[in-house]
Chain A
Amino acid sequence: MNEQALRWRSMVGVWRRHAVCLLRTWKVALTWFLIEPAFVLIAMGAGVGRLIDELPGHGSYAEFVTPGMIVGMAMFHALFECAWGCFNRIQQGTMETMLTAPVTLAELAAGEVLWGATRAIISTLAVGGFALMLGWLPISALPGVALIAAIIGLQFGAIGLCFAAASPSLSTLTLVFTVLATPLFFFSGSFFPIEVLPQWLQPLAWLAPLTPGVHLARGFAVGAMDMTHAWSALYLAVLSVGFFPIAVKLLQRRLVK
């Protein structure tokens, strides 16, 4: 309750629980992390990419789409873990039970979000590694792209947790994917430059919470940054911390009676 300071050990304990689970089910996890993104990457880069000429300033379509795909996948992984995973564990009472340990609610939430970010990083290394082999991402870009993916993971982990805590049922929970994630995936500049959208839609696309991540990751991939990237970095920083207190509040309302 009035215990504000976050204890690192508790957050790592929560994080560790998820790591243990992942290792227990590594075969299933492998499809998540490798096979699915590989298919999507090949479909977009080698399939759709064949039909599209080079994009000015971006090289091939595959090179254009790769950082967007990586960031989009990072978002999905963090959301899936923190929305779907946490919702299930709230329903099963295991989250509430974790609070009977010397762990505060904020630490529990932070552990969940850190795990969301971890999954985003693992996904990025998997897809990124694949893209490296195909020559669609320069190796120098990988650390920067992974950093962005980690921050996207924190941001969407917190957003996912908000949905998990606020959803009364599974059907409302799926809104996070149908209403939020899918549109963001397609309209945040991952698959085409925002400049090709209608004039009136462009400001909205720039404000979409996935856009700064995609924009920055592409900046790292191309190896060129300008003022727009500075603004994106600022926006991303706000987004990455802004949802966490809301998630804690909602989780408190859900778990503490």
Chain B
Amino acid sequence: MNEHDSVIRVNGVVKRYADLCAIDGISFAVQGGETVGLLGPNGAGKTSTMRALAGLSPWDQGQVSVAGLDAATEGRRIRQIMGVVTQHDGLDNELNVTQNLELFGYLAGVSRTAVRRRAREVLEFFSLTGRATDDVDDLSGGMKRRLAIARALMIDPEVIVLDEPTTGLDPHSRAQVWEKLAQLKSAGVTVLMSTHYMDEAAILCDRIAIMDHGRILALAPPHALIERYAGGQVVEIRLDGAERQILRDALRASGVKWRELGALFRVLDGDTDLTALQELAGVRIERRATNLEDVFLRLTGKELDDE
């Protein structure tokens, strides 16, 4: 396949449940070898989008295809070349580590010898060789997640979709997962992942789609998103004894727009003239470089972890 062909194509997809619109007309494409992240809060439509790609749940309008296969009718053929890692590990605790992997090889029609070899390879890749015959319940959370990703690799996929691959993991385990995902990317695997972690999206993704309420609000490389939507700097004002109301009045008087995050006041436009505030006692003004969080705030008007 040509490196520059779109491997994943989503065109005008709408999915409604009885009382809400889970996907509200989204379109995007992922090129071969690219890693794209869907970044958004719970309920943004990330999981629904990924399930549609795998042909696992129906949608109401639009087209979805993977490697030229129509997800509406050829889900099986898609899942033959696309590994799917769900948000919940879904590991089979009646099987041991290796048996969990082998099951998915057999289900995909891989021959017995090839299944055994592949299981050894992916265990090695995920540093789980020493746990090959252990019960799944004896693994740590990070190991379980790695095993769930390893399972998706049993078919030696061209594409892999991961739904919040590091949610619930400790920082060390997250870093381990990132390391493996980065290796997959350098091996040329096309990756679509959802996340609600800014750092994860920024580290792993070539492009990020900011999603909210079933829509894609922006889709671009991380640095481009920051440049376009967040500007160079933000100002953060911390209360250091002063009353909130005093700071509010001062900000209003300067004609500045701000957001309050507890005791932290954030001014998104870093070029704002805030000299008037410097005279206020008990406030500390800091400028910092913008990040994806500011992009998200600017685009949606809320913090990513607001529910």
Given A9-B109, A24-B95, A101-B107, CB of A96 within 8 Å of CB of B75: no
Q: In whole angstroms, what is the CA distance A99 to B99 when docked? A: 17
Interface of chain B, helix or strand or loop or mixed?
loop
Q: Mark B64-99, 1 if CB is under 8 A from A, else 0.
A: 000000001111110110001110101111111001
Q: Which among A14-22, A156-164, A187-195, A237-245 touches the partner chain?
A: A14-22
Given A21-B94, A24-B95, CB of A256 within 8 Å of CB of B58: yes
Q: Mark A93-108, 1 if CB is under 8 A from B, else 0.
A: 1101111111110000
Q: In whole angstroms, what is the CA distance A257 to B16 when docked? A: 11
Which residues of A from 196 to 250 have beta carbons under 8 Å from B? none
Query: A100–B86 contact, CB under 8 A?
Result: yes
Instruction: Tell me which of A13, A25, A92 contacts B107 (CB under 8 A).
Output: A13
Q: In whole angstroms, what is the CA distance A153 to B75 when docked? A: 30
B77 (CB) vs chain A CBs: closest residue: A102
A108 (CB) vs chain B CBs: closest residue: B107
A133 at the binding interface (Cβ < 8 Å): no
A2 at the binding interface (Cβ < 8 Å): yes
Contacts of A94 in B (CB 8 A): 90-93
B108 (CB) vs chain A CBs: closest residue: A102
A3 at the binding interface (Cβ < 8 Å): yes
A1 at the binding interface (Cβ < 8 Å): yes
Please give the distance in Å from A19's CB to the nearest CB on chain B: 11
A10 (CB) vs chain B CBs: closest residue: B107
Query: B76–A103 contact, CB under 8 A?
Result: yes
Q: In whole angstroms, what is the CA distance A102 to B76 when docked? A: 5
B251 at the binding interface (Cβ < 8 Å): no
Given A13-B106, A102-B79, CB of A256 within 8 Å of CB of B84: no
Q: Indicate the member of B77, B103, B107 with the most A CB atoms within 10 Å.
A: B107
A25 (CB) vs chain B CBs: closest residue: B94
Query: B92–A103 contact, CB under 8 A?
Result: no
Query: A97–B90 contact, CB under 8 A?
Result: yes
Q: In whole angstroms, what is the CA distance A7 to B106 when docked? A: 12
Contacts of B86 in A (CB 8 A): 93, 96-97, 100
**CB within 8 Å of B: which residues of A?**
1-3, 7, 9-10, 12-14, 16-17, 20-21, 24-25, 89, 92-94, 96-104, 256-257
Return 5 A-B CB contacts under 8 Å, by A number. Answer: A17-B95, A21-B95, A100-B84, A101-B104, A101-B155
Q: In the complex, given contacts A16-B106, A98-B103, what are 11 additional A-B residue pairs having Cβ atoms less than 8 angstroms apart?
A: A13-B107, A13-B109, A94-B93, A97-B88, A98-B107, A99-B56, A100-B54, A100-B79, A101-B108, A104-B76, A256-B57
The 7 A-B pairs with the shortest beta carbon distances in the complex, nearest first, are A97-B90, A101-B107, A100-B84, A13-B107, A13-B106, A102-B79, A102-B80
